[in-house]
């Protein structure tokens, strides 16, 4: 049994199920949903390590299905940029206070939900080039190492680049998987992955599988647009609550 109370353990399991369910049903926001719940019960280091490990499993299967559509040349700048940013993010995670990280994640939740509510018409930069892709990748790696929320920036940037939906998915999902994999390696090398995190991972795995299965089972049977709005409202409220709690 991990060294946390039963109430905190229950919050962790609820968060794992909710994040997996949302991702299975709507295809997005695993890390955001998990962080919104887990940060009320777990340490930031535990939250980041578990988000990265679970998201690697959830996203890895999707990338395997996309393997025929991958454009390696397009992916390299994002992955190289992420590789540069991850160690900086891990250093931030190691030295920043829990309150600071809760504030950072709270702001991310607010910005992400407001962005998706407003859906601003961002200018397209189809000829941006690989250098800007790498810079986006670098900040993505920094976010992954410090908060576990790698994948948000490439998702937004892929739309700005003017790529089709299929092209976007073939960029941001493989980038996220590569980023999560490198983040796990860096967290392990920094000594932040403890036995307690391993036990939490094992305890939450059946719940993760159940949430993912239920999400896929209900996919197409629930009004996805309405469901997404509900999720965004929850993320918005969670962001506010994290900011107030800090």
244, burial (CB in 10 Å: exposed 0-12, middle 13-18, buried 19+):
exposed
Share of the chain above pLDDT 70, in %: 95
Token representation of residue 16? 């794992």
Work out the angle at residue 97's Cα, subtended by the Cα atoms of residues 94 and 100, and round it to the nearest 5 degrees.
115
Is the overall model pTM greater than 0.75, yes or no?
Answer: yes
pLDDT in tens, 111-156: 888 888 887 776 777 677 889 999 999 999 999 999 988 888 888 8
pLDDT in tens, 42-65: 988 999 999 999 988 877 777 777
- pLDDT confidence tier of residue 10, bands split at 50, 70 and 90: very high
Residue-range domain boundaries for the chain: 6-245
Helices (H), 161-194: 165-189
pLDDT in tens, 191-229: 888 899 999 999 999 999 999 888 888 877 777 677 778
Q: Please provide the DSSP assignment of 83-126 as one string.
A: HHHHHHHHHHHHHS-HHHHHHHHHHHHHHHHHHHHH---PPP-T
Spatial distance between the Cα atoms of 17 and 84, rounded to a whole number of angstroms? 32
The length of the chain is 246
Spatial distance between the Cα atoms of 100 and 93, rounded to a whole number of angstroms? 10
Query: Measuring CA to CA, which residue among 101, 82, 62 is closest to residue 157?
Result: 82
Token representation of residue 40? 């009320």
Q: Are 75 and 66 in contact (CB under 8 A)?
A: no
Q: What value does the mean pLDDT take over residues 81-87?
A: 96
Token representation of residue 11? 């919050």
* 77 has pLDDT over 90: yes
For 105-192, list the strands marked E by DSSP: none
Check residue 162 and give its pLDDT: 82
Q: Are 10 and 204 in contact (CB under 8 A)?
A: no
Spatial distance between the Cα atoms of 175 and 151, rounded to a whole number of angstroms? 7
* 3 has pLDDT over 70: no
């Amino acid at each position: 049994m991990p060294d946390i109370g039963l109430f905190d353990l229950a919050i962790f399991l609820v968060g794992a199920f909710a994040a997996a369910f949302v991702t299975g049903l709507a295809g997005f926001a695993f890390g955001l949903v998990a962080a919104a719940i887990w940060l009320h019960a777990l340490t930031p280091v535990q939250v980041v390590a578990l988000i990265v490990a679970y998201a690697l499993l959830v996203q890895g299967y999707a990338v395997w299905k996309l393997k025929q559509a991958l454009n390696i040349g397009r992916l390299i700048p994002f992955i190289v940029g992420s590789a540069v940013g991850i160690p900086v993010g891990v250093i931030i995670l190691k030295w920043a206070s829990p309150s600071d990280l809760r504030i950072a994640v709270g702001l991310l939740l607010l910005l992400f939900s407001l962005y998706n509510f407003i859906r601003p018409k961002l200018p397209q930069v189809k000829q941006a080039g690989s250098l800007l892709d790498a810079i986006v990748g670098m900040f993505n790696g920094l976010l992954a190492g410090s908060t576990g929320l790698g994948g948000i920036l490439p998702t937004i940037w892929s739309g700005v680049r003017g790529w089709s939906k299929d092209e976007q998915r073939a960029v941001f999902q493989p980038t996220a998987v590569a980023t999560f994999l490198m983040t796990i390696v860096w967290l392990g090398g920094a000594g932040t992955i403890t036995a307690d995190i391993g036990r939490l991972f094992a305890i939450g795995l059946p719940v993760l599988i159940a949430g993912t299965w239920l999400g896929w089972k209900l996919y197409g049977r629930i009004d996805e647009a309405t469901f997404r709005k509900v999720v965004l409202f929850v993320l918005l409220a969670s962001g506010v609550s994290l900011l107030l709690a800090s």
